[in-house]
Amino acid sequence: MTNKRLATTEFGDVVTTSAAKQIAESVRAAILEGRLKIDERLPSEDELALRFKVSRPTIREALKRLAAQHLIRSRRGPAGGNFVTSPTPLDAALSLANTTTLMVAVGDISLHDMATARLELESVCCRLACINRTQADLNAMSGEIAQQRSTALTDEEFCAADVRFHRALVNAGGNTVMKFLMHSVVEALQPISNMVIFRVRERQSIVAYHKRILAAVEKRDEAAAQDALADLVEYTQDSYREALNKRTA
């Protein structure tokens, strides 16, 4: 049965080149502008194909693009179909992190720029953490440090604990927007840099920096926390340069 309101929704015309992409962008615009509401059912594939004057495979490709952006979800059964949805904060953060990782990997974003952005953004998080941290936040950071001190950890496990420590630090700040922004920096930058520097870095040096950050946050000493973070970022950058020099030697 045709949804009358959706059937009359004006998505805008498209041309044949990259039709699936244009259709996805047209539907996306309708969602962002509020012409299509959350949990509302899209017209059927046949209806969309007729509306846009394209084939059903083209419509399916457009729907796949929308699903990849977490803008629609499919439901099976008699009452099924494709429904407008909203990406969760985690979905959005993961999407941003994946995009950032790709841009770093292909050289569109330099690790130097990422390190600079990380220092500036995470410095704000350090300050906020000193103000807003709870005992649970301190316990989370302390727990990751305890794991990092284990010599039994593989490089991958140490890297994961490293990421979790900084995630806990950001979470301690209690700012939703900073959590979202830092997700792309922490989740994208640290695994990439760790892949390069793990042979030259000293694990216990990383642990020592983390302990300094934790101690400062616990004392609510904003300057000390930011200084410790700056020293850690500088150490990471020095290790990165050393690793690259060894590769080219």
Q: What is the rounded distance in angstroms from the CA atom of residue 16 to the CA atom of residue 39?
A: 29
pLDDT in tens, the chain (249 residues): 444 444 445 555 554 448 999 999 999 888 878 888 888 999 999 999 999 999 999 999 999 999 888 888 888 877 788 999 876 766 666 677 677 777 777 778 777 787 788 888 899 999 999 999 999 999 999 999 999 999 899 888 988 899 899 999 999 999 988 888 887 777 666 666 666 566 667 889 999 999 999 999 999 999 999 999 999 988 888 877 776 676 665
Domains of the chain, with CATH numbers?
4-84 (1.10.10.10), 90-248 (1.20.120.530)
Residue 73 parent element (H or E):
strand 72-75
Q: What is the rounded distance in angstroms from the CA atom of residue 72 to the CA atom of residue 63?
A: 8
Q: List 81's β-bridge partners, or say none.
A: 75
Q: What integer pLDDT is reported at residue 237 of this predicted model?
A: 81
Using only the alpha carbons of the chain, give its radius of gyration.
23
Q: What integer pLDDT is reported at residue 247 of this predicted model?
A: 65
- Whether this prediction's pTM lies above 0.85 is answered by no
